[in-house]
């Protein structure tokens, strides 16, 4: 039977973490002025991002295999996930930015 070794969650450190520890130990790190104000500002950014990216509904649809593969290839060329591409197309259609003659 193998014994479970406790894993050190701080090891191994990446280069950035090592440089950060070195800067703190050598007193090269400086404290951010008006920390409370900065934290409040970044918390507002995070809340905005969470609220903006929240999805309201999940939709399941059947799509022909060839159509989905075509969309996935176009998404790869564009550099975005295919589901994001589909959502973008639907959003543009819903807002009247694109039409299909309906």
Q: Are residues 30 and 45 in the same domain?
A: yes
As a whole number of angstroms, the distance between CA 67 and CA 88 comes to 16
Same structural domain for residues 39 and 61? no
Tell me the C-alpha distance between 44 and 36, whole Å: 12
Domain total for the chain? 2
- For residue 65, give the CATH number of its domain: 1.10.1220
Q: 72 near 86, Cβ under 8 Å? A: no
State phi, psi for 93 to the nearest 5 degrees.
-65, -45
On whether residue 101 sits in a domain, the answer given is: no
Residues 6+ apart with CB under 8 A from 16: none
| pTM of the predicted structure, to 2 decimals | 0.46
Domain that holds residue 23: 16-54
> How far is 30 from 78, CA to CA, in rounded Å?
41
Residue 48, in any domain of the structure? yes
Structure tokens at 54: 């929240």
- Which tens digits make up the pLDDT trace of 27-72? 888 888 888 898 898 899 888 888 877 767 788 999 999 999 999 9
Return the minimum-mean-pLDDT range out of 16-25, 49-58, 86-95.
Answer: 49-58
């Amino acid at each position: 039977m193998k014994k479970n070794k406790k894993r050190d969650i701080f090891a191994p450190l990446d280069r950035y973490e090592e440089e950060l520890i070195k800067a703190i130990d050598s007193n090269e790190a400086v404290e951010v002025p008006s920390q409370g104000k900065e934290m409040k500002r970044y918390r507002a950014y995070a809340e905005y991002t969470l609220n903006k990216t929240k999805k309201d509904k999940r939709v399941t649809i059947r799509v022909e295999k060839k159509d989905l593969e075509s969309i996935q290839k176009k998404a790869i060329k564009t550099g975005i996930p295919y589901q994001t591409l589909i959502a973008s197309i639907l959003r543009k259609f819903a807002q009247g930015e694109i039409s299909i003659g309906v």
